[in-house]
Amino acid sequence: MKLVLIRHGVTDWNAARRMQGQTDVPISDEGRAQAERIRPILESLAPGYVVTSALQRTIQTAEAAGLHIDKKDARLNEFSLGEWEGALIDELVAEEYDQWGLGKFTPPGGEDMDDFFLRINSAVFEALAHARKNNIDTVCIISHGGVIRRYLARGIGLNISKMVNPRHAGVSVLNIEAEDIRLEMYNYVGV
């Protein structure tokens, strides 16, 4: 079975380096173009089950990439940033921002990192279980950079401090065989 993870296309807030979190910001024209560029790889992977977060930037990315959405799951929404929602990255304390990126700091009023991972993991587990039950070989999840990083770090054990951020409309592919999970592709953005 393959698990395809895609970060949403860029938004105006991303371009401005503004923290989005769960603020429901749409993708920009550039974000639509990014999603369209990954159509060929998605056509070759042919996902049989597609899940997005409940935020419009992931839904719009799936649509622009030519995917049919089977389910919208709020458990795949980005990290709740509390007081950081809407803040410019340059306005934040650099050390706190760096520690947050490593999963070692929670912004005031923000979501607990363990709770964040548990909700992500439950959504991914449910999507994979649905696929197995229905003999689907490829599951595609369109979500957020924080969701993908946390899942890869805690879910399959990658070192988050050595991981580059998922690129906008970047495609990552995991091959899942019994207890063996291999990362086959990371951050592919098309040509």
pLDDT confidence band for 154 (50 / 70 / 90): confident
pLDDT of residue 135: 97
Quote the pLDDT of residue 133: 97
pLDDT given at position 62? 98
Q: Which of 78, 85, 111, 144 is catalytic?
A: 78
How sure is the predictor about 178, in pLDDT bands with cuts at 50, 70 and 90?
confident
Domains along the chain with CATH numbers: 2-188 (3.40.50.1240)
Which pLDDT belongs to residue 191? 79
**For residue 151, how far is the Cα from the chain centroid?**
9
Cα distance from N-terminal residue to C-terminal residue, the chain: 26
Phi, psi of 147 (to 5 degrees): -65, -50
154: its two tokens: 């805690």
Q: What pLDDT, in 10s, does the model give residues 18-65?
A: 999 999 999 999 999 999 999 999 999 999 999 999 999 999 999 999
- Tens-place pLDDT, residues 73-130: 999 999 999 999 999 999 999 999 999 988 899 999 999 999 999 999 999 999 999 9
Given this model, what pLDDT does residue 177 score? 86
Residue 177 designated active-site: no
Set 8, 85, 111, 144: catalytic member: 8
pLDDT at 112: 93
Q: In the prediction, which pLDDT does 22 show?
A: 96
pTM: 0.95
- Please work out, in degrees rounded to the nearest 5, the angle formed at the alpha carbon of residue 147 by the alpha carbons of 122 and 131: 45
The verdict on whether 78 is a catalytic residue reads yes
Strand 138-143 with 2-7, pairing: parallel
Is residue 10 very low, low, confident or very high in pLDDT (cuts 50, 70, 90)? very high
The CA-based angle 26-115-150, given to 5 degrees, is 60
In this structure, the chain runs to a length of: 191
